[in-house]
Amino acid sequence: MMDDNNQQQFLANLRAALGHPAAVRRRQKQVCERPDDADRQALVKAISRRSPEQTQDLLDRLMAEGHLLNLQVISCPNCTAAGQAIAALLSDDISAGGSKRTIACWQHPLVTELDLVSHLGIRNISIYCVEQTMHPLRSAERETIRRRVAASFAGITSADYCLADTASLVLRGRPGQDLCVALLPAIHIAVIRRKQLLADMQELHALLQTNSPDCRDELPNRMTMISGPSKTGDIEATMVYGVHGPRNVYLLVIDT
């Protein structure tokens, strides 16, 4: 158990690692200090005016960071190409010996534009779309959703943003966009548009804190960040994928 001396040394180490004087205890107001409103507004404005070249730089950075995490990032010119790419990825999994032939997906405008029914129907892959409900789910309804999603071999979702510097998907909690679709199936495929790429957590925080068109609906009560597939190195320091969640995660970034 950590005694007082060890606790103080631990906190001092944290302060030093963060670039603050190790012996000076910081006040709560200093720890929780937020950037100036004008700075935040300027950052949000810069994000909205990002040039195609800057966005391409973000995508290149995302691909490089994603490679380190075993997150496969695929750039697609439009929704049709993205739908075809998803069909090819899922067909490869079935060809590799997968026995399940059902996928689960969100009821989301971008997922709808992929026209998965056409692309997957010819490959005899059925789709379970988690419907959006305006009332709180009863236990039986939630259990039905979980059971059907767990019986699917892939989950298709969108995301609110993706952070390039950590290759992290950002998913805010909303009705009809159950997180289990991203976590229970063996394969998770997320689809976003290029304009949803952010550089880092600072940009995400600025958008969430600013009354911009991207966050009219206030802060969420739940937000999940996903950085690549589920992985653990607990056993003999050997990296194993898919132990506690998806073994493969793909991110399709649509140009338009």
pLDDT in tens, 231-248: 888 878 888 888 888 999
The confidence band for 28, taking pLDDT boundaries of 50, 70 and 90, is low
| pLDDT exceeds cutoff 70 at 214 | no
Rg (CA), the chain: 21
What torsion, rounded to 10 degrees, do the Cα atoms 200, 159, 192, 188 define?
110
**pLDDT beyond 80 at 99:** no
pTM for the structure as a whole: 0.82
For the CA atoms of 193, 134, 119, 197, the dihedral, rounded to the nearest 10 degrees, stands at: 10
Partner residues linked to 73 by β-bridges = 251
DSSP 3-state percent helix, strand, coil across the chain (nearest 5): 40, 20, 40
Residue 216 has pLDDT above 60, yes or no: no
pLDDT at 217 over 60: no
Q: Residue 159, exposed/middle/buried by CB under 10 A (0-12, 13-18, 19+)?
A: buried
Residues in the chain: 256
CB 136 within 8 A of CB 225: no
Crossing angle for the helix pair 201-209 and 37-48, nearest 10 degrees? 110
Cβ neighbours around 106 below 10 Å, total: 25
Torsion of CA 32, 214, 229, 223, to 10 degrees: 50
Separation of alpha carbons 54 and 220, rounded Å: 28
Specify the pLDDT at position 105: 95
